[in-house]
């Protein structure tokens, strides 16, 4: 290089570079936006343009579990390409200031994209970059980010978000990047922050155009299509006015497994689906068992501070049923009454039912017999009474079952009881009904059906009910039938639950050790100002029903544990919710009342084949009380945690614990947890907190 050349290079370095031309800048932005459209188009074709499978709306729903709605992550992929477009802006600008990719003033039309430029008046477009002839350039775009589902696309079954709502929400996002609007015109300024609406909630977008994550929105209860008995929560009662509380014992657990299924699916359960006593009694408690069948149960009680109210106390009454020795092989006469109607044609219904009853058959011995009745459009005997030792024959009969037809539940029940009576044994005689609860053909009056079952119960044949599936579960009918049939109601939501009910707890499911079990508690007004029974609303009895042996009540199966909890308000605690009377007196004659008694417990029950009840009485003394929650047993603290969780799910008027507090209480009371049921409960607390969006 010569000195002359070096001198020219030096002057060139000192020369000030001219500002880029406005037109070049505009065309660089055009190129970047067109590249953005091309990227969107390619992404949409790759994600949504699959040549096989369902249409767009169906593919979106295919990844959504039934009863839950989660935003498809593919929806945001088109928006994610905005970052790619921004990276292309400097490259496009550099290219347009250094080379002539296309002739100046001629809009590019040969790029392989669906969007193209056309000239429109400024008045139609708002603030956009001007063209050479006083017009503005705007892209005529195709919304590829979120295509609208066909108008005839089916709705999300049972969900709260229908396709038309999804379309409305997604179209807003699509308009931000693809539809003709002032926001999508070619802009010479950086993209400003905008508002996008997703799922009905405002969501602030960042300056680069990417939407910020929306906050967690509380998900409402889903209308499930299942039917539950409606009931009011047990109120607080004044001891001086209503000192006696009477109710029937309950060993059903269907509510817990139904609630678990709802939370697992991502929905809060319906309030009427939450029966607090069934939530508590789902778990086994380490209460001492009676030593002899002559006294078929033993009672354990404890009084401890209420976790959700420091000024009140909980009185926990625990009952453990007699456990027959393993060598005892009482004969069983079982009739499986299986719903094979069209509504059972779902994976969590008839297929799960077959596997569940297969588990039960495997536990039976040659001393037992099994018959199978199926009902659909008409009822029929699938298997005549057969020795349980012939398991292959029984399992083959189960496997042949298929779903179809309407539901003739009443006719099937009559046939099942007829078989049970013809093959009656000196042991266990029980019909086990498995259904989704959709009784719509047969005896139209539910009261007539309950009367029929009660008559058969008095003749020595009991009824247990197993519920399957969701969408048309007749929980209210199932509960009524089980209660009138001296049996229990369970909900089978999984193979694991089938193992629990039909294998681990088979004795309690099949064998009744005490029937018509009633509890009555009289509180001492000198010690207790107020009380309320936690749960058992559907099992409440009148005071006079306690001594009336004609009034039906609950039953206890072999080895079952039953727990009842009262929240009591001590006199002088300052926690009473009801003001004293202005006229008259609420003050008892304390001098004549025993000061060491909080209350008095009475229990009545009948032997499985008896007609006259037996009475057991036990005082509830202050010696049962502990002064801190830490001193309460693991079983007591666990039961309190489950009660608090159930109250929160139900929207109870009593108790105000956060999910974190409930979890902390339960965590310290898990014990050995051999089968992992308590660990599973901990996960349900987490799920409820996330789904509800509450603390």
DSSP 15-26: SPPPPPPHHHHH
Q: What's the average model confidence in pLDDT over 466-472?
A: 84
Residue 8 lies in a domain: no
| Boundary residue ending a domain (474, 490, 510) | 510
* Residues 316, 340 within the same domain: no
What is the band of 5 on the pLDDT scale with cuts at 50, 70, 90? low
Residue 218 lies in a domain: no
* Residues 356, 431 within the same domain: yes
What is the band of 217 on the pLDDT scale with cuts at 50, 70, 90? very low
Say whether pLDDT at 88 is over 70: no
| Cβ pair 152, 167 in contact under 8 A | no
Q: What's the average model confidence in pLDDT over 607-611?
A: 88
| Cβ pair 565, 535 in contact under 8 A | yes
Cβ partners under 8 Å of residue 423, min gap 6: 333, 369, 371, 385
Residue 5 lies in a domain: no
Residue 280 phi/psi, 5° resolution? -65, -45
| Cβ pair 193, 127 in contact under 8 A | no
What is the band of 226 on the pLDDT scale with cuts at 50, 70, 90? confident
Q: What's the average model confidence in pLDDT over 585-591?
A: 57
Percent of the residues in the chain that have a pLDDT greater than 90, as a whole number: 44
Q: What's the average model confidence in pLDDT over 325-337?
A: 86
* Residues 523, 502 within the same domain: no
| Boundary residue ending a domain (510, 528, 557) | 510
Task: Give the Cα separation of 693 and 687 in Å (integer).
Answer: 10
* Residues 560, 660 within the same domain: yes
Say whether pLDDT at 47 is over 80: no
Q: What's the average model confidence in pLDDT over 14-26?
A: 62
The per-residue pLDDT for 100 is 39
Instruction: Count how many domains the chain has.
Output: 3
* Residues 74, 166 within the same domain: yes
The per-residue pLDDT for 62 is 31
Say whether pLDDT at 324 is over 50: yes
The per-residue pLDDT for 682 is 97
* Residues 402, 460 within the same domain: yes
Name the pairing type of β-strands 614-621 and 597-606.
antiparallel
What is the band of 294 on the pLDDT scale with cuts at 50, 70, 90? confident
**DSSP 3-state assignment of 118?**
strand
What is the band of 440 on the pLDDT scale with cuts at 50, 70, 90? low
Cβ partners under 8 Å of residue 591, min gap 6: none
The model's pLDDT over 128-180, given as tens digits with 9 standing for 90+, comes to 343 444 433 333 333 333 334 444 433 333 333 333 443 444 343 334 334 33
Task: Give the Cα separation of 681 and 679 in Å (integer).
Answer: 5
| Cβ pair 449, 481 in contact under 8 A | yes
Residue 12 phi/psi, 5° resolution? -65, -35
Q: What's the average model confidence in pLDDT over 263-292?
A: 94
* Residues 599, 502 within the same domain: no
Say whether pLDDT at 478 is over 60: yes
Higher-pLDDT residue of 412 and 529 is: 529
Task: Give the Cα separation of 122 and 144 in Å (integer).
Answer: 26
* Residues 519, 643 within the same domain: yes
* Residues 638, 685 within the same domain: yes
The per-residue pLDDT for 26 is 66
Half-sphere exposure of 652 (CA within 13 A, CB side): 24
The per-residue pLDDT for 449 is 80
Residue 4 lies in a domain: no
In whole numbers, what is the pLDDT of the chain averaged over residues? 75
Residue 11 lies in a domain: no
The tokens describing 274, both together, are 């939450």
**DSSP 3-state assignment of 319?**
strand
Residue 622 lies in a domain: yes
Specify the range with the lowest mean pLDDT, choosing from 25-34, 268-277, 442-451, 464-473.
25-34
Residue 263 lies in a domain: yes
Q: What's the average model confidence in pLDDT over 324-344?
A: 87
The model's pLDDT over 106-132, given as tens digits with 9 standing for 90+, comes to 344 443 433 333 334 433 333 334 344
Say whether pLDDT at 301 is over 90: yes
| Cβ pair 670, 638 in contact under 8 A | yes
The per-residue pLDDT for 49 is 43
* Residues 568, 669 within the same domain: yes
| Integer angstrom CA distances of residue 438 from 59, 99, 141, 267, 538 | 30, 75, 51, 22, 21
The model's pLDDT over 355-372, given as tens digits with 9 standing for 90+, comes to 999 999 999 999 999 999
* Residues 371, 443 within the same domain: yes
Higher-pLDDT residue of 607 and 585 is: 607
The per-residue pLDDT for 403 is 87
* Residues 656, 581 within the same domain: yes
Higher-pLDDT residue of 98 and 293 is: 293
**DSSP 3-state assignment of 129?**
coil
Residue 216 lies in a domain: no
The tokens describing 403, both together, are 């779903």
Secondary-structure percent of the chain, ordered helix, strand, coil, rounded to 5: 35, 20, 40
Higher-pLDDT residue of 595 and 111 is: 595
The per-residue pLDDT for 633 is 96
For residue 156, the enclosing domain spans 19-204
CATH code of the domain covering residue 489: 3.40.50.410
CATH code of the domain covering residue 519: 2.60.40.1230
**Which of 46-50, 115-119, 489-493, 677-681 is the most confident on average?**
677-681
Q: Is 105 left (phi over 0), alpha (psi -120 to 50) or beta?
A: left
Say whether pLDDT at 80 is over 50: no
Say whether pLDDT at 63 is over 80: no
The per-residue pLDDT for 441 is 45
Say whether pLDDT at 453 is over 60: yes
Say whether pLDDT at 82 is over 90: no
Task: Give the Cα separation of 514 and 281 in Å (integer).
Answer: 17
| Boundary residue ending a domain (480, 510, 540) | 510
Specify the range with the lowest mean pLDDT, choosing from 146-160, 185-199, 242-256, 549-563.
185-199
Say whether pLDDT at 89 is over 60: no
| Cβ pair 531, 245 in contact under 8 A | yes
The per-residue pLDDT for 592 is 55
The tokens describing 397, both together, are 């009969």
Say whether pLDDT at 537 is over 80: yes
Other beta carbons within 10 angstroms of residue 660's beta carbon come to 11
- C-alpha dihedral, 578 to 580 to 583 to 589, nearest 10°: 130
| Cβ pair 657, 308 in contact under 8 A | yes
Task: Give the Cα separation of 312 and 644 in Å (integer).
Answer: 14
| Cβ pair 432, 396 in contact under 8 A | no
């Amino acid at each position: 290089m010569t000195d002359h050349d070096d001198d020219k290079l030096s002057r060139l370095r000192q020369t000030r570079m001219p500002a880029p031309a406005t037109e070049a800048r505009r065309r660089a932005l055009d190129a970047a936006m067109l590249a953005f459209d091309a990227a969107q188009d390619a992404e949409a074709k790759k994600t949504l343009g699959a040549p096989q499978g369902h249409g767009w709306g169906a593919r979106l729903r295919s990844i959504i579990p039934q009863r839950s709605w989660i935003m498809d992550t593919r929806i945001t992929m088109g928006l994610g390409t905005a970052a790619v477009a921004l990276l292309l802006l400097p490259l496009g600008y550099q290219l347009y200031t250094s080379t002539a990719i296309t002739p100046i003033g001629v809009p590019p039309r040969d790029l392989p994209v669906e969007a193209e430029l056309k000239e429109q008046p400024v008045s139609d477009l708002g603030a956009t970059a001007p063209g050479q002839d006083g017009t503005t350039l705007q892209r005529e775009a195709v919304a590829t980010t979120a295509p609208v589902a066909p108008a005839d696309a089916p709705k999300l079954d049972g969900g709260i978000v229908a396709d038309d709502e999804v379309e409305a929400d997604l179209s807003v996002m699509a308009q931000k990047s693809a539809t003709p609007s002032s926001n999508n015109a070619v802009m010479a300024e950086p993209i400003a922050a905008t508002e996008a609406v997703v799922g009905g909630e405002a969501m602030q977008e960042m300056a680069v155009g990417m939407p910020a994550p929306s906050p967690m929105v509380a998900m409402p209860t889903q209308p499930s299509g299942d039917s539950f008995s409606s009931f009011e929560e047990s109120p607080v009662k004044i001891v001086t006015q209503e000192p006696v509380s009477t109710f029937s014992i309950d060993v059903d657990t269907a509510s817990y497994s139904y609630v678990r299924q709802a939370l697992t699916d991502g929905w809060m359960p319906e309030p009427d689906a939450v029966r607090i006593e069934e939530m508590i009694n789902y778990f086994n408690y380490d209460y001492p068992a009676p030593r002899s069948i002559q006294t078929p149960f033993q009672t354990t009680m404890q009084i401890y501070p209420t976790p959700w109210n420091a000024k009140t106390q909980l009185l926990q009454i625990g009952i453990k049923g007699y456990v027959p020795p393993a060598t005892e092989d009482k004969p069983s006469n079982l009739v499986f009454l299986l719903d094979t109607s069209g509504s059972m044609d779902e994976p969590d219904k008839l297929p799960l039912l077959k596997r569940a009853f297969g588990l039960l058959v495997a536990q039976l011995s040659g001393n037992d017999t099994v018959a199978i009745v199926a009902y659909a459009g008409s009822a029929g005997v699938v298997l005549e009474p057969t020795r349980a030792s012939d398991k292959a024959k029984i399992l083959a009969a189960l496997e042949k079952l298929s779903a179809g037809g309407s539901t003739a539940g009443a006719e099937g029940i009559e046939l099942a009881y007829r078989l049970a009576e013809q093959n009656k044994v000196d042991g266990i005689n029980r019909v086990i009904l498995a259904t989704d609860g959709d009784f719509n053909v047969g005896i139209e009056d539910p009261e007539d059906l309950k009367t029929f079952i009660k008559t058969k119960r008095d003749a020595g044949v009991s009824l247990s009910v197993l519920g399957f599936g969701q969408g048309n579960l007749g929980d209210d009918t199932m509960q009524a039938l089980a209660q009138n049939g001296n049996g229990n109601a369970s909900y089978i939501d999984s193979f694991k639950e089938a193992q629990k009910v039909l294998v681990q707890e088979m004795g309690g499911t099949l064998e009744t050790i005490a029937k018509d079990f009633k509890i009555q508690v009289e509180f001492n007004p000198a010690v207790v100002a107020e009380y309320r029974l936690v749960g058992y609303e559907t099992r409440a009895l009148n005071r006079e029903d306690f001594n009336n042996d004609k009034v039906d009540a609950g039953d206890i199966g072999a080895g079952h544990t039953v727990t009842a909890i009262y929240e009591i308000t001590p006199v002088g605690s300052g926690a009473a919710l009801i003001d004293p009377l202005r006229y008259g007196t609420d003050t008892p004659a304390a001098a004549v009342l025993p000061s060491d008694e909080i209350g008095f417990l009475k229990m009545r029950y009948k032997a499985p084949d008896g007609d006259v009840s037996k009475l057991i009485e036990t005082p509830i003394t202050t010696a049962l009380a502990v002064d801190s929650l830490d001193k309460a047993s693991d079983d007591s603290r666990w039961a309190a945690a489950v009660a608090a969780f159930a109250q929160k799910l139900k929207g109870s008027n009593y108790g105000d614990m956060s999910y974190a507090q409930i979890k902390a209480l339960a965590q310290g009371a898990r014990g050995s947890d051999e089968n992992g049921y308590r660990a599973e409960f901990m996960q349900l607390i987490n799920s409820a907190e996330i789904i509800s969006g509450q603390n």
